[in-house]
Amino acid sequence: MIIPTFNRAEILQECLESLVNQTIDRSLYEVLIINNNSTDNTEYIITQYTSRYANMRGVFEPMPGLSHARNRGYKEAHSAWCFYLDDDAKARPDTIARALEVIEQYPFDCFGGVYYGWWKYGRPRWLPQDFGDKPLELQETGILTRENALCTGYNSGGVFVCRKSVLEKVNGFVADLGMNSGKIGYGEETYLQDILRSNEYVIGFDPLLVVDHLVGKHKLTIWWHLKSIYASQRDAIFLVESTLTLKRCILTIGWEMVIFPFKFIKYLHQLIFHKNYYWQTFILDLFSPLFRKIGLLSGFMR
């Protein structure tokens, strides 16, 4: 188990507690906690657990960025397999046991699973119940491709298992993508899976590999959602072959500005006359397309 962490001491404690209470013996797995230059009391929490449990080990990674922490993790790992879990997620009691079953029974080089939203701070009525969920990629355990997937065709980095030898051969996660000291970033695990596919490694998906992932306080704000839309589109340019040009980017933003007043009237009507249409939804519906286009422009000019 590899847990990269940055300034989430309180939540990290719940994550580590879930890894203590597994259905299999602790001697069958190690837990590496990668402190990615945290400035809170993360190191204290790590020490509390590593001093009590022989299978837990703390590592300090000074280079900021989730990809740097993930790469440090596989380099430090003693196991032949690396199971990446986000520091704001909780493993279920059988999570590690299930991962070992998949490793033994299927010919995967890497695989992922499912996470469900953990509403620790409550759910605002304008956010749907399934907002924090990772949708199923396959109904049954099997090889995952972009063609047979029910959703994106990619495993989430928050519940991601990969052979250490494979990570070594492809040099791990690209450092230019992913979260960095609180800055929103995406795509490092997606890019890695593209690299694995291009090298004919087998990627799998297991719907029975389940964790619970925190819907953080910051995700309960409109501004975070707009920033997330912007960042996902900015980083998407790096991940796909695109025919997008600077001229086309500017034209699409211009078109959004032209139709903005018409959208304003449309969504205002819904806000006034539909009981379950909230003002937060109004803002997101109105501004999300513009943030999406500006994100693409930002990615194109990177």
Reported pTM: 0.83
Share of the chain above pLDDT 90, in %: 71
CATH classification for the domain delimited by 2-217, as one of 3.40.50.300, 1.10.3720.10, 3.30.420.40, 3.90.550.10 = 3.90.550.10
Tell me the per-residue pLDDT of 49-77, one tens digit each, with 9 for 90 and over. Answer: 999 999 999 999 999 989 999 999 999 99
pLDDT of residue 29: 96
What are 195-229's pLDDT values in tens digits?
A: 999 999 999 999 999 999 999 998 999 999 999 88
Give pairs for 139-147: CB < 8 Å, separation 24+: 139/207, 140/207, 141/102, 141/106, 141/204, 141/205, 141/206, 141/207, 141/208, 142/106, 142/204, 142/205, 143/108, 143/202, 143/203, 143/204, 144/111, 144/112, 144/203, 144/204, 144/205, 145/197, 145/203
Q: What is the pLDDT of residues 75-134, one digit of tens each?
A: 999 999 999 999 999 999 999 999 999 999 999 999 999 999 999 999 999 999 899 898
Q: What is the pLDDT of residue 134?
A: 86
**Beta bridge mates, 180:** 183
- Nearest Cα residue to 231 out of 284, 191, 285, 288: 288
> pLDDT digit string (tens) for 163-197?
999 999 999 998 776 444 454 445 678 889 999 99
- Residue 185 is predicted with a pLDDT of 43
Over residues 224-271, the pLDDT tens digits come to: 999 988 887 777 665 555 556 777 778 888 888 999 999 999 999 999
**pLDDT higher than 70, residue 32:** yes
Radius of gyration (C-alpha) of the chain in whole angstroms: 20
* Pairing between β-strand 31-35 and β-strand 56-60 as defined by DSSP bridges: parallel
**Residue 163: beta bridge partners?**
81
Q: How high is the pLDDT of residue 161?
A: 97
Which residues is 58 bridged to in the sheet? 33
Those residues with Cβ within 8 angstroms of residue 109's Cβ, 6 or more apart along the chain or in another chain: 162, 163, 166, 196, 201, 202, 203
Domain with CATH 3.90.550.10 in the chain: 2-217
